[in-house]
């Protein structure tokens, strides 16, 4: 692949997902404000941040293809952020207990040279089991999901929190919708399966 591919993220989860495609890439941290705008819906937030992340890297890498991605989780009309503390993680999980949580993962592929971009939002829903306080406390103690939107890691013990999951790409739940990204990369002439 002649053109540099950049992941506009410092997320180890996204980096690990992109490594599955076995394409050479680098990571650069976009410095943007990730706060929701007043009244902004979770889906709009995820798309806006994915696009802003890609564009934040474009000026310093004008020949690159840049991947921006961000995620917003929503339960019962409330956007769930990264909890940061055990107490907030436990509160989030109690709030989600017995309810569906919708994850909106925005993806943007930007050709920094031409300005052409493709973007979309993938939706993945997890249905939480009814959880008691001791189960929630034990989960947070074991997994320490303090930097995860929704306070869980689906790729780990978080699976024990759910009754079922619905969506077209499990990778979107973890933070990078690879199926959609592959579609976009092919439109820009990059195929992970090409010789």
pLDDT tens-digit series, residues 6-28:
999 999 999 999 999 999 999 99
What pLDDT is recorded for position 81?
Answer: 86
Q: What is the CATH number of domain 5-187?
A: 3.90.950.10
pLDDT at 1 over 60: no
Q: Which is the catalytic residue, given 70, 111, 132, 183?
A: 70
DSSP string, the chain: --S-EEE----HHHHHHHHTT----EE-------PPPTT--HHHHHHHHHHHHHHHHHTT-TT-EEEEEEEEEEETTEEE----SHHHHHHHHHHHTTSEEEEEEEEEEEETTT--EEEEEEEEEEEEPP--HHHHHHHHHHH--TTSTTS--TTTGGGGGEEEEE-S-HHHHHT--HHHHHHHHHHTT--TT--
What pLDDT is recorded for position 9?
Answer: 94
pLDDT at 2 over 80: no
Q: Is 169 a catalytic residue?
A: no
When pLDDT is averaged across residues 137-155 and rounded to a whole number, the result is 91
Band the pLDDT of 77: cuts 50, 70, 90: very high
């Amino acid at each position: 692949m002649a053109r540099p591919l950049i992941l506009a993220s410092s997320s180890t989860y996204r980096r690990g997902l992109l490594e599955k495609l076995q394409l050479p890439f680098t990571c650069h941290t976009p410095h943007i404000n990730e706060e929701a705008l007043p009244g902004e819906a979770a889906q709009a937030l995820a798309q806006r941040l994915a696009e802003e992340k890609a564009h934040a890297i474009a000026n310093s890498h004008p020949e690159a293809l840049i991947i921006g991605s961000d995620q917003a989780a929503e339960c019962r009309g409330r956007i769930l952020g990264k909890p940061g503390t055990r107490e907030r993680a436990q509160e989030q999980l109690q709030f989600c207990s017995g309810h569906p949580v919708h994850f909106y993962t925005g993806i943007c592929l930007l050709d920094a040279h031409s300005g052409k971009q493709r973007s979309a939002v993938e939706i993945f829903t997890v249905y939480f089991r009814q959880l008691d306080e001791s189960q929630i406390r034990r989960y947070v103690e074991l997994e320490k999901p303090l930097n995860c939107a929704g306070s869980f890691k689906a790729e780990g013990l978080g699976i024990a929190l759910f009754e079922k999951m619905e969506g077209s790409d499990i990778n979107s739940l973890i933070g990078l919708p690879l199926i959609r990204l592959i579609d976009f990369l092919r439109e820009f002439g990059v195929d992970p399966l090409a010789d």
